[in-house]
Amino acid sequence: MTVALIAWLAPPWARVGAVIVAAMLAWYLATRHGATTSAAVAPASSAAVTDLKELTGGIVAATERECLNNQAELDRTIGLIRNASDTLLASFNNMHAHVQTQHNFALQVASKLGGNLEAGANLQFSEFIQDTSKTLDSFVDSTISTSKIAMGLVESMETIDTQVKAVQNILGEIEAISKQTNLLALNAAIEAARAGEAGRGFAVVADEVRSLSMRTNQFSSEIRHHMDEVHGSIDLAHDAILSVASMDMNFALQSKSRLQTTMARLEEMNLEMGRAIEQIDKLAEQVNLEVDSATQALQFQDITSRLSAQTNRHMEALRGIMVGMKLAVQDTEHRPPAGQKPAQSGDA
Amino acid sequence: MLITEKIDDNTARLSLDGRFDFHSHRDFRSAYDAVLARPEIHQIAIDFGRVDYLDSSALGMLLLLREKAEAGNKKVKLTNLTGSVKQVLEIANFGKLFTIE
């Protein structure tokens, strides 16, 4: 009885053990007591049997209670494990779904930013760079063709300037002739005066010739004046064309190299993006593997269920033994003391 | 810009030295006009070996020279291109219009 009471406070597995030990002890005591009763002390035997019956009854009742309690606790444990593993499974499935969503988002971002991961992705940045490059090319083309036209104009103006110079040279000739004519007219006038009355008509002619030469000189200098103005205007136009035709081409070189740098950086960004996406892909795969192995590990629930069922069966067997023991003890009451044999009791 | 002219058989070589810009137009034109006037010349080679700067007017002058040379059945070749001169001619796509050596 004391052993059973101590065992009551111990943990369940120890309790089962203690109960079994107590049962064995009781069994041993009962058989020994039976033997001594049959051999010598007949009057004391009925009291001993009553004691043994009480002890056995107590042990059997305690063991049965223990078995029932243990079975109930096992059932609760199984229930708890089942709930926990269901919750874990649901969490892992959610985790899997979230990782998948994250992966899809990463892919979307990559394709929107112009990553070259997928064929037919919208390459907005690259298109922009190409457009800019085309714009630069057409700007260079128009700059050069403007320069070409301007240089053509410059050549035409040079030709005009040459003509103006030719005209100015001719004007010099005309001026020289008119000066000469003037001189000749002056000489003629002097000769006419010396001739007296006879030369009067000639003096009038000489005077006319002189005034003609002077008018020629005046026209010539007017033409020279105009030609000088034409020359000045050509010089002005020359300077104006200079500002149109002469463009520093370094702007194009700089723009081109900036474009190339931007293009290279874009390429680099695409590569980095690709690497990041790849990494995310790998991580998602790993998470999937982890989730799979976790799900597999969660099958311990089945194993524990089976083990618990086995333990349950063991408990049932123990209860069976106890019932058998109770019956055996009851049997000893009805049998004659001489006919009792330890081997028979062992069968129960 | 200094221009020196050298004739080899039917090729006239104009070697340019200095900045090739708007201010060179008279010298450049008189140099190529002289060469264009010679019927025995079939090819004009412009040597850029000593040119350190080109502006858009120089490109315009080269295009004008090309037009006039083609009208007289002559070819224009650009030689000794280096550094920024080469880059400018590349950006201007002159490789499609001229023979480049």
Between residues A326 and A205, the one the model is more confident about: A205
C-alpha dihedral (A26, A29, A35, A39), degrees to nearest 10:
-140
Considering only CB atoms, which chain A residues are within 8 Å of B29? Answer: 155, 158
Asked if residues A65 and A322 have their Cβ atoms less than 8 Å apart, the reply is no
How large is the ipTM?
A: 0.93
Q: What is the pLDDT of residue A348?
A: 36
Structure tokens, A69: 């309690």
Whether A249 sits inside 8 A of B63 (CB atoms) is: no
Least CA distance to B87: which residue of chain A? Answer: A253
Per-residue pLDDT tens digits for A92-131: 888 888 888 887 887 777 666 654 444 444 456 778 888 8
Least CA distance to B59: which residue of chain A? Answer: A144
Per-residue pLDDT tens digits for A214-273: 999 999 999 999 999 999 999 999 999 988 888 898 888 888 888 888 888 888 887 888
User: What is the distance between the alpha carbons of residues A70 and A95, in angstroms, rounded to a whole number?
Assistant: 37
Average pLDDT, chain A: 80
Q: What is the pLDDT of residue B5?
A: 94
pLDDT band at A302 (very low <50, low <70, confident <90, very high): confident
Average pLDDT, chain B: 94
pLDDT band at A3 (very low <50, low <70, confident <90, very high): very low
CA angle A279, A285, A289 (to 5 degrees): 140
Contacts of B47 (CB under 8 A, 6+ apart): B13, B14, B15, B16, B79, B80
User: What is the distance between the alpha carbons of residues A92 and A295, in angstroms, rounded to a whole number?
Assistant: 8
Q: What is the pLDDT of residue A58?
A: 84
Per-residue pLDDT tens digits for A128-177: 888 888 998 899 999 999 999 999 999 999 999 999 999 999 999 999 99
Q: Which amino acid is at A22?
A: A
Q: Who among A140, A158, A245 is closest to B57 (CB)?
A: A245
Q: What is the pLDDT of residue A19?
A: 60
Lowest mean pLDDT among A159-163, A338-342, B41-45: A338-342
Longest dimension (CA), chain B: 34
The whole-model pTM stands at 0.61
Q: What is the pLDDT of residue A257?
A: 86
SS3 state at B54: strand
Q: For an interface test with B, give the residue of A144, A234, A247, A256 to mutate (most B CBs within 10 A).
A: A144
